[in-house]
Amino acid sequence: MDNTDFKSTFSLLNADYVQLNKNWNYKNVISPFYRIYLIDGGNGSLGDAEHAHVLEKGYLYLVPSFTLCNHHCSKYLSQFYVHVLEESADGSSLFSANRKIYKIESVPEDLIRFQKILNLNPGRDLRNTDNPREYEKQPTLAGFQKRNNLIPLCDYIETKGLILELIARFLKPGNFQLSEAKKIPSKILDSVNYILTHLKDTITVEHLSGRACYNANYFSRVFTSYTGERPLAYIQKKRIERAQYLIITTDLALSEIALETGFDSLSYFSRIFKNITGQTPTQYKKINSVV
């Protein structure tokens, strides 16, 4: 990844300092936004597909968007948190190839960053609920985003800078591994961008290879070498990722979501969804519904 390929912007959704108890116990949560925690007391855990990460005092934790996560507190846990929405013009994501929970030791400046974010953005807490399945609903997300326009421009820009500083902490060598060290050719980047912005449309390898002026077989080999996935598998993964977002954040029927993400039938959509996530769309919707 070349630095000039980085196009994401990050906006604050909510932030607070909280003291949690055993009620903070939620399983199989997949949110469309980033979560960053700074633990200052107690104990708990965050679990992803690989293992459970013990929440320890003096450590920072990052949960990228669309990362399966279990939350658990056995007795008491105190933490600062910020929830951040990532946006990019082409739909790409900084952590798309590295979706796991990250843990690094904190430094004194991290506490200052969290405190500054809270001071610049009063009232961005989640006092009504600590259930992630409730506060990730679309009306709530939209409400938090609108509040970014209610603070002075200087505070808004400073908040964005502080968020970038926190995310940058997890990008240090040794913590974050890029899926490919070599620069991705412009034609492959163009293909990726086309896929991400045309998920609703019919996309074929022949069409993509034609856009790149490559033979279809050669295009598939090059695409796979730089993305780690064959074109059709990549397309399906991004469609299901988009479907997960729509299930969590909208009230669209599953049949509408299937069409919105490029599937011509609900049955085919359901089969691919389960192949990728391990759950049917109905199961996923039930698990991530407000309880």
Which range marks the domain in which residue 197 is found?
Answer: 186-287
pLDDT tens by residue, 181-236: 456 788 887 898 788 888 999 999 999 999 999 999 999 999 998 888 899 999 99
One-letter identity of residue 2? D
Domain termination site, one of 143, 169, 195? 169
Q: Are 15 and 143 in the same domain? A: yes
Place of tokens 């089969």: 271
Residue 68: name the closest of 92, 86, 47, 83 by CA: 47
Is residue 127 in some structural domain?
Answer: yes
Q: How many domains does the chain have?
A: 2
pLDDT tens by residue, 232-271: 999 998 899 888 878 876 788 999 999 999 999 999 999 9
Q: What is the average pLDDT across 171-188?
A: 66
Q: What is the average pLDDT across 107-134?
A: 82
Q: Which residue has the higher pLDDT, 26 or 140?
A: 26
**Residue 55 belongs to domain with CATH number:** 2.60.120.10
**Residue 195 belongs to domain with CATH number:** 1.10.10.60
Is residue 180 in some structural domain?
Answer: no
Phi-psi region of 56 (alpha: psi -120 to 50; beta: other; left: phi over 0): beta
Is residue 179 in some structural domain?
Answer: no
Q: Are 157 and 213 in the same domain? A: no
Confidence of residue 143 (pLDDT cuts 50, 70, 90): low
Q: Which residue has the higher pLDDT, 87 or 57?
A: 57
C-alpha 77/C-alpha 226 separation (Å) is 41
Q: CB burial class (10 A; 0-12, 13-18, 19+) of residue 281? A: buried
pLDDT tens by residue, 27-66: 777 777 899 999 999 999 998 767 788 999 999 999 988 7
Q: Are 228 and 271 in the same domain? A: yes
Q: Are 16 and 156 in the same domain? A: yes
Is residue 238 in some structural domain?
Answer: yes
Q: What is the pLDDT of residue 179?
A: 44
Q: Are 162 and 233 in the same domain? A: no
pLDDT tens by residue, 155-170: 999 999 999 999 999 9
Domain termination site, one of 169, 204, 229? 169
Q: Are 151 and 75 in the same domain? A: yes
Q: Are 142 and 37 in the same domain? A: yes
Q: What is the average pLDDT across 117-121?
A: 96
Q: Are 83 and 145 in the same domain? A: yes
